[in-house]
Structure 1
Amino acid sequence: MKKTLLFLTFTLIVAASCTQNKKDDFSFIGWTTSEEINGDVNNLLNFNDSQFNLSNSSDLALGYSEQDFWIKLVLNKPVNPNEEVILEFSNPMLNEIQIYSSEGTLLKDLGRINFEWNDRATFFNQFKLPSHVGQTFYVKVNSFGNNNVPINLVDSTDENWTLDERNVFFGIYFGIILAMFIYNMFLWVSTKENIYGLYISYIFFVGLTQGILGGYVDSYFFPDNDYLKKYSFYLSTVMVNIVGIYYSLRFLNIKKMSPNIFKVGLTIIGVYFFILLAFLFDFGIGQLKIRLLQIFLGIVPSYLLGISLYSLRKGYRPAKFFLFSWFLLICSMVIFLLSDLNILPHNFLTNYIFTIGSIFEALLLSFALADKINILKKEKEAEQIEKLRVLRENEDLIKEQNTKLEEKVRIRTDELEQAVRNLQNTQSQLVSQEKMASLGQLTAGIAHEINNPINFVSSNIAPLKRDIKDIMEVIEFYRASASKEFSPETKKEAKKLEEDLELDYVLDEVEQLLKGMEDGAKRTVEIVKGLRLFSRVDEQDIKKVDLHDGINSTIILLNSSIPGKIRIVRDYGELPMVECLAGKINQVFMNIINNAVHALADNLDKIADPVITIRTRALPDQVKIEIEDNGPGMPEHVRQRIFEPFFTTKPVGKGTGLGLSIVYSIIENHKGTLEVVTEEGQGTSFIISLPIYQNIPKYD
């Protein structure tokens, strides 16, 4: 890219340096100012050659001044009547050119102010020299800007454009500009992108400037307005720079890339606005505004070139087209400026290089804009893809959040359900504890009340047996004495009385009754003892307990409800004394054994030998109690719920569903475990593990 730009620059400058000017066509070239001759051409005729400022070149650089300059030209040889010799002033920016003969006669008016559309001479600032006026000519020139007066003699052998050829050239130029204008106007209306509006504004002022430079705008729109003929080019040049700089800043995204560089551009635009106001309202600064304009015409190309390179280095691809287009225009501006400063000669290329450069600039800027739109489309597509990706991510995130929320709701619901179950369990335990406390008090009261009369009965059986034994001895004595002393009749009556009373049977029956009374009293004493052991109402603290006593007392209490067909097998191991609440543990044994009895009792016709086996074993730090039955067992869905409060498989009215829930809570509060091993049709086994030591001061 850099090599290409350098090559183009070198080529353009070399081409622009080729001149048609021929200094040896003139034997004398001198100039003076209107002030020196008091503005009168007749005074100029009396000037000696020594009074003129001599020039060694036919390209006169007269500087910045609003006054008129007078030039004296002397041809090397007279004009041949058979040849067409043309005097040409090849600077289209000269406002006024007046050619006088050596006698002071006005021969021709040329320049921008005197432009005539159909006059080729005024169009090209050319004057066909007549042969009868001699070899000396006086020329009056003025320009609002820099007074550069390139003077050429063109003969019939030189190749010059005709008026029609020049019109074709500018027609092609304006056609390209108009096509770009209409095309981008359509894009602006359809896309609503303001960058298109800036572009068409820019190429409008570029086309206007070139039209003014070529004389077409002057001729068509203000042929009689000397002010616009003098200043229109500068006004349009200012507008081109204002719009062009702002368009460049917007197009290259300079504000986003570097706010400081953007502010420099705005400052330059501000200076151009000042120059514009100076042209419009004439602040009295004279040629200063022209000098200021030309200075910034030299600064602006460097600035635009710099921001183009900066944007390209930042990775902005359309800046490549922009850089190339601005480079061509900048080269054309520099060449035009160098010719205006009389550094380069005035010829066709230097006079119209700016027009040629603006053609390529308009095309390349349009390509850059199209490339920018393609990039914008790709960016929008990428943005849409990114939005879709973000939407999908958001959708996935929402789904994930919903899943998490549902999970949290489920967990919270489970927690609430567990809290409700715990509350129900606690409530049921409180009710059960209250019932058990009442039952314990009732049981203890009954046991206490029964204990007194049963002790009375038990204590009287032994004396009664002794008294009856004594009575039996007396009866035996009487019977033995009667056999010796009674008369036969008395013996016969006594014998008959014994037979009527069935004395032997009565004596046997008395013995049997005494034995039955003794057994009943003993059993009653055992029941009362079992009631007292089971209730343990007077024991609210954890104490060391013999678990075998609790199991045995529970079996005694349940004995009346156990069908005779069900066998109770006690497989006791040696157990240490266990720290626990005896009443609570007895309640555990009562519920589990009672459930086993019910499971077997409901299926006696299906089980040949219903058995409840109670095993106890001692482990290093705990004891294990297993209560097993060979009943119908439980399905899995029932096993999972047996410890839930109010869950029961018994018919309505026969079960509350609280027994095993209370059992589980009691074992849990004793830091133990309760395990259920069951299989449908294979019986059920409850395995209780209790620590030997609780290590707590009191049970809550």
Structure 2
Amino acid sequence: MPLPLKTIQFFLMNEIRSITKTLKVVLITFAFINCSLYSYAFNKNKIFVATTASNSTPIGKYLYLLVDKESRFNESNITNDDTAFKLQKKDIPKMDVKDGTSWLNFSVLNATQHQDLFLDIQYSNISEISLYRKIDNKLVLIQRAGNSIKPELQAQKRAFAFRLRLPPSDTGIYYLKIKSYHPLFLPMFIKDTTSLDESINSGNLIFGLYFGIILSLLLYNIFLLISTKDLSYLFYVIYLFFLGFAQVTVSGYGYTYFWPSHPDVNRYMLLLTSCTAGITGILFAIFFLRIAYYYKTFVFLFSIVIFLFFVAIIATISGNNQLGYKVIDYAQLAGGVLLILISFLIGRKGYKPAYFYLIAWTAFLAGVIVISLRNIGIVPYTTFSTYVLYLGSAIEAIFLSTALADRINSLRKEKQESQVYALKISRENETLIKEQNVVLEQKVTERTNELVSTNMQLNHTLAELKDAQTQLVEAEKMASLGQLTAGIAHEINNPINFVKSNIKPLNLDIDDVFEVVAMYRKLHNANKEIIPSLLQEVDRKQEEIDMEFVKKEIRQLIKGIEEGAERTAEIVRGLRTFSRLDEGELKVANVHEGLNSTLVLLRNSMPGYLRVEKQFNAKGDIECFPGKLNQVFMNIINNAIQAIDEKQVKQEQEWILISTVDVPGNKMQVRIKDSGIGMNEQVKHKIFEPFFTTKSVGVGTGLGMAIVFKIIEEHHGKIEVESEPGKGAEFILTLPYIHPVT
């Protein structure tokens, strides 16, 4: 009986499946045998067998590495010694920033039906990379790429996806020459065209979603910043911008779309954007978490972290990328730990936004941890482990936006509650104010009466103070007048005594002269006979009185009387020039005349060892109150005389130097310098204060220099003092030639 058609078809299908499985086993066995033979023929290197199922398998454990720090190898001699290469033990090799060149050697067997395969390196920050294939023991360049190479020099626009030019069942030995200014993570895959396109498209899609989230949050928070004008949003917007910019740079899109014509920028931009993201993130955390309010010490710690970021930036700009990456690793580690700790501590104090920040930062760190575990081989290399950092960063940004919104809502709620409470208090205060108005009016009336009474007492006291002040000023004037009168009396008494002492001998001489004249007059009435005898008597008289001596003595006595009178007149003129009581109004006077008259009146007070030197170089005629200005000169020069007299050890000749000179601004300076005892800084600061004196009790009123200061102010001038203990003192008076009042 013939078998049914379905039964025959079933058996035929089973046989076909059995034959297909057998062929697959034979092909795989052949491939492994061929791989083993090829490995033995080529220095026994491990060979990666590319199959349809191996598209997602990293080839890190099939790579042989040679680090050429001194750049001794090149394309012509690198194949001479394959024993220098070392087999890698991780699926994803990792290399720090190194000087020189790194060479990678790997072998691939194409066990697929695809006519071509690609080497896909899923890392964007490689400065220079060249792929060679070993043919007839020589290296043939297949493709050159890298983000430090201008796009027109690259063999293919899509960087780091190299066409292997390996037909099915063929085996190829390849060399990669790598030079990079950045740390290297080399997730390398052998893929066919379809798998490569899917990988690139999925990567672009995931990054596009991430970038869309960051851009949306950035625009949204900019809108909130404009609406609320809250500084928290400003710091967050800046942080979001630099975070997104850093991710754009790390993923390679910055080089591809923003600065493709400037490949040198990429050497610095990766580290710079990472540092700026870290700095702005810390600044946002300090402001958002109110760290200065809760834990001021942590602000100092975060300042150190920010300083480390700046050190990394400086190292990078100066060309030391190796140091820059080491510093930024420590800065990121310290900053991450501190942010987790501080957000937890502040959250425990009842600040709710801190918990949102803790969740956000934990999500971001979780992504970083997964990436690190993937790089060391603990977590497998999958789509999730590849793009988990984008996920963590997006979650961080979303939670931080939520935290900001919650913070604004909390502040708004607090503000509303505060307004309600303030309204309640305002109403209570309004009631209280109404109740207190009556009491306040009564108290205001009572207080007004008290103030009126106190004001009357104050006016009386003020009048008494003014009287006391007038009496003190008059006392100072009387003291100066008394001293001046004593000096004038002594000065006038000297020439008067000189005149008086000359009068008596002058009278005697005149009497003798008159007697001789009388004898001559007798000759007119005498007889001629007795005239000779009378003449002899006249001669005897002249010889007796010594007529020549008398004439000479009379001249000397008259000259002495004349000098005494002139001296007296000089003193009177000086006194009139000094006092000028009839000149209380502003007028033009000569300063030099005032100084000379003051010196005349003080001459009696000057000891014999004191020398006064005058150097008058100014024009001297100024608009002033002459009497008041002379009082200034009198007080200052008198103080200089007293300062010299108080010296314990005096020089052979002490001195006072009075000089005048014109200065810019249509002004003149009067300098009065002495060799007295000088004064210290404390006395200099108090010298113009009323009632301050360094003299003994009863000697001075302490108003002399205060009056001097006031008079100089009335002249719109300036008075300065330069002095040191034991080195004398110098008073510098600066006076305008034209008084501002005129």
Q: Residue 232 of structure 2 contacts residue 284 of structure 2 at CA under 8 Å; is this kept in 1?
A: yes
Q: Report the Cα offset of residue 124 of structure 1.
A: 6.6
1:71 maps to 2:108: no
Match of 1:182 among 219, 226, 232: 219
Distance 1:302 1:173, change over 3 A: same
Distance 1:28 1:256, change over 3 A: closer
Residue 45 of structure 1 aligns with which residue? 79
Deviations 1:605-638 (A, max 9, x none): xxxxxxxxxxxxxxxxxxxxxxxxxxxxxxxxxx
Deviations 1:238-258 (A, max 9, x none): 111100111011111111111
Residue 272 of structure 2 aligns with which residue? 235
Correspondence 1:600-639 to 2 at 5 A: none
Counterparts of 1:281 and 1:35, CA distance in 2: 21
Counterparts of 2:60 and 2:280, CA distance in 1: 45
Residue 693 of structure 2 aligns with which residue? none
Residue 297 of structure 1 aligns with which residue? 332
Residue 317 of structure 1 aligns with which residue? 352
Residue 32 of structure 1 aligns with which residue? 66
1:85 maps to 2:122: no
Match of 2:89 among 56, 61, 75: 56
The aligned length equals: 392
Correspondence 1:359-370 to 2 at 5 A: 359-370=394-405
Give 1 or 2 for the bigger CA radius of gyration. Answer: 1
Q: Alignment identity in percent?
A: 29
Distance 1:157 1:166, change over 3 A: closer
Q: Report the Cα offset of residue 160 of structure 1.
A: 6.9
Q: Report the Cα offset of residue 262 of structure 1.
A: 2.1
Residue 198 of structure 1 aligns with which residue? 235
Correspondence 1:537-548 to 2 at 5 A: none
Aligned residue identity for 2:99: E
In the TM superposition, structure 1's runs of 4+ consecutive aligned residues that sit over 4 Å from their partners are 19-23, 25-28, 78-81, 114-117, 119-124, 155-160, 337-347, 406-413
Residue 205 of structure 2 aligns with which residue? 168
Residue 527 of structure 1 aligns with which residue? none
Deviations 1:298-335 (A, max 9, x none): 22221111121112111111222221111111112233
Residue 97 of structure 1 aligns with which residue? 129
Counterparts of 2:158 and 2:230, CA distance in 1: 41
Deviations 1:538-588 (A, max 9, x none): xxxxxxxxxxxxxxxxxxxxxxxxxxxxxxxxxxxxxxxxxxxxxxxxxxx
1:326 maps to 2:367: no
Residue 448 of structure 1 aligns with which residue? none
Distance 1:180 1:127, change over 3 A: same
1:212 maps to 2:249: yes
Aligned residue identity for 2:94: A
> Which stretch of structure 1 is more off in the superposition, 396-405 or 92-101?
396-405
Counterparts of 1:58 and 1:409, CA distance in 2: 91
Match of 2:439 among 396, 404, 414: 404
Q: Report the Cα offset of residue 342 of structure 1.
A: 6.8
1:275 maps to 2:312: yes
Q: Residue 93 of structure 2 contacts residue 187 of structure 2 at CA under 8 Å; is this kept in 1?
A: yes
Q: Residue 90 of structure 1 contacts residue 150 of structure 1 at CA under 8 Å; is this kept in 2?
A: yes
Aligned residue identity for 2:121: F
Q: Report the Cα offset of residue 271 of structure 1.
A: 1.8
Q: Report the Cα offset of residue 131 of structure 1.
A: 1.9
Counterparts of 1:141 and 1:44, CA distance in 2: 13
Q: Residue 176 of structure 1 contacts residue 359 of structure 1 at CA under 8 Å; is this kept in 2?
A: yes
Residue 387 of structure 1 aligns with which residue? 422
Deviations 1:357-403 (A, max 9, x none): 22222211111111111011011112222332343344344334324
SS in 2 for 1:266: helix
Q: Residue 64 of structure 1 contacts residue 145 of structure 1 at CA under 8 Å; is this kept in 2?
A: yes
Counterparts of 2:386 and 2:268, CA distance in 1: 18
Q: Residue 150 of structure 1 contacts residue 345 of structure 1 at CA under 8 Å; is this kept in 2?
A: no
1:149 maps to 2:149: no
Residue 388 of structure 2 aligns with which residue? 353
Q: Residue 58 of structure 1 contacts residue 150 of structure 1 at CA under 8 Å; is this kept in 2?
A: yes
Q: Report the Cα offset of residue 294 of structure 1.
A: 1.5
Deviations 1:484-540 (A, max 9, x none): xxxxxxxxxxxxxxxxxxxxxxxxxxxxxxxxxxxxxxxxxxxxxxxxxxxxxxxxx
Q: Residue 91 of structure 1 contacts residue 346 of structure 1 at CA under 8 Å; is this kept in 2?
A: no
Correspondence 1:109-148 to 2 at 5 A: 109-113=144-148, 123=158, 125-131=160-166, 134-148=171-185
SS in 2 for 1:224: coil
Q: Report the Cα offset of residue 73 of structure 1.
A: 0.7
Counterparts of 2:66 and 2:417, CA distance in 1: 69
Counterparts of 2:419 and 2:224, CA distance in 1: 22
Deviations 1:205-240 (A, max 9, x none): 111112112222212221022222222121111111
SS in 2 for 1:105: strand
Residue 613 of structure 1 aligns with which residue? none
Q: Residue 148 of structure 2 contacts residue 263 of structure 2 at CA under 8 Å; is this kept in 1?
A: yes
Q: Residue 148 of structure 2 contacts residue 264 of structure 2 at CA under 8 Å; is this kept in 1?
A: no
Distance 1:342 1:397, change over 3 A: farther
SS in 1 for 2:139: coil
Distance 1:254 1:120, change over 3 A: farther
Q: Residue 78 of structure 1 contacts residue 131 of structure 1 at CA under 8 Å; is this kept in 2?
A: yes
Residue 589 of structure 1 aligns with which residue? none
Q: Report the Cα offset of residue 260 of structure 1.
A: 0.8
Unaligned runs of 5+ residues in structure 2 are 1-53, 449-742
Unaligned runs of 5+ residues in structure 1 are 1-18, 414-700
Higher relative contact order (CA 8 A, sep 6+): 1
Residue 254 of structure 1 aligns with which residue? 291
Residue 592 of structure 1 aligns with which residue? none
Distance 1:27 1:387, change over 3 A: closer
Counterparts of 1:387 and 1:189, CA distance in 2: 28
Q: Report the Cα offset of residue 41 of structure 1.
A: 1.7
Counterparts of 1:344 and 1:124, CA distance in 2: 26
Q: Report the Cα offset of residue 105 of structure 1.
A: 1.2
Q: Report the Cα offset of residue 288 of structure 1.
A: 1.4
Distance 1:213 1:64, change over 3 A: closer
Q: Residue 272 of structure 2 contacts residue 313 of structure 2 at CA under 8 Å; is this kept in 1?
A: yes
Distance 1:412 1:168, change over 3 A: closer
Aligned residue identity for 1:370: A
Q: Report the Cα offset of residue 192 of structure 1.
A: 1.6
1:288 maps to 2:323: yes
Counterparts of 2:160 and 2:255, CA distance in 1: 15
Deviations 1:245-286 (A, max 9, x none): 11011111111111111221222112212222322344xx44
Counterparts of 1:301 and 1:258, CA distance in 2: 17
Counterparts of 2:344 and 2:249, CA distance in 1: 31
Residue 692 of structure 1 aligns with which residue? none
Counterparts of 1:201 and 1:161, CA distance in 2: 34
Q: Residue 180 of structure 1 contacts residue 366 of structure 1 at CA under 8 Å; is this kept in 2?
A: yes
Aligned residue identity for 2:331: F
Counterparts of 1:387 and 1:161, CA distance in 2: 64
Aligned residue identity for 2:223: F
Q: Residue 90 of structure 1 contacts residue 351 of structure 1 at CA under 8 Å; is this kept in 2?
A: no
